[in-house]
Copies of this chain bind each other. A is one copy, B any other.
Amino acid sequence: MHLNATLTSIGRIETPFASPGDCPRNGRALDPAPLCRVHVDPAFQPGLQGIDGFSHLILVYWLHLAETPDLVFTPPFDARPRGVFATRSPRRPNPIGLSVVAFEGMEAPGVLKVRYLDCVDGTPLIDIKPYLRTTDAEPEAAMGWLGARPEGKNPAA
C-alpha cells in the first residue's frame, strides 16, 4: 500500500564517501571516525533551537542511491540468507537510513559537526532527532545472528 506521504528534504549530509562503494560497513568501522557535516536548509534552521547540549543525535535520511529492494539475501560475510529486516542493508522496501551520531556542535548556522556516519556524500536529510539515553540506549541488547559471529569490530550487516 502506498502511503499518501511526500517526503521533504530538509538538508543534505556531507561525508568523505563519494560513492556507495566508498562507504564503510557501518559508521564506526573507521578509526578514527571521520568528521562529517549536516547542512540544514535555511527554512528549517529554526528547528535546531535547543539542540546544543545533546551529545548524540539520530539522523534519518533517504538512501537515494540504494539499489532495488532485496527482501532476502545472503550477506557478503555470512553463509545463510537473511531477511532484510534482520539487517541494516540499504536495499529496503523504504530506503530510509538511520544513524546514531556523536554531535560535536555547530560549525556555522545550520551546519552540524557529527561523527559515525556511513552514508554517501550528498545524502538527502529527512529528520534530526535528539538521542535520549532513557528510551534509546540498550547496551545489553542481544544481536541475533550478528551476535553469533566471531566478536569482530562493530559488526553490522
Known: A3-B62, A83-B46. A94 touches B136 (CB 8 A): no
Number of this chain's copies in the assembly equals: 2
Decide: A3 and B64 in contact? CB cutoff 8 A. yes
A139 at interface, CB cutoff 8 A: yes
Decide: B8 and A54 in contact? CB cutoff 8 A. no
Given contacts A55-B140, A86-B130, 13 further A-B contacts (CB under 8 A): A1-B8, A3-B6, A5-B6, A10-B94, A46-B71, A47-B83, A49-B86, A50-B80, A50-B86, A53-B147, A56-B141, A56-B142, A135-B156
- Would you give the shortest CB distance from A6 to chain B, in whole angstroms? 6
Q: Closest B-chain residue to A82, C-beta based?
A: B50
A79 at interface, CB cutoff 8 A: no
Among B27, B84, B87, the residue within 8 A (CB) of A135 is B27
Decide: A49 and B100 in contact? CB cutoff 8 A. no
Q: What would be 30 A-B contacts, judged by CB atoms less than 8 Å apart?
A: A2-B6, A2-B8, A2-B9, A3-B8, A3-B124, A3-B126, A10-B93, A26-B132, A26-B134, A48-B83, A48-B85, A48-B86, A50-B83, A50-B145, A52-B144, A53-B143, A53-B147, A53-B148, A54-B86, A54-B142, A56-B138, A93-B127, A98-B98, A100-B136, A132-B141, A133-B140, A133-B143, A134-B155, A135-B156, A136-B136
Known: A127-B94, A130-B146, A142-B53. A28 touches B135 (CB 8 A): yes
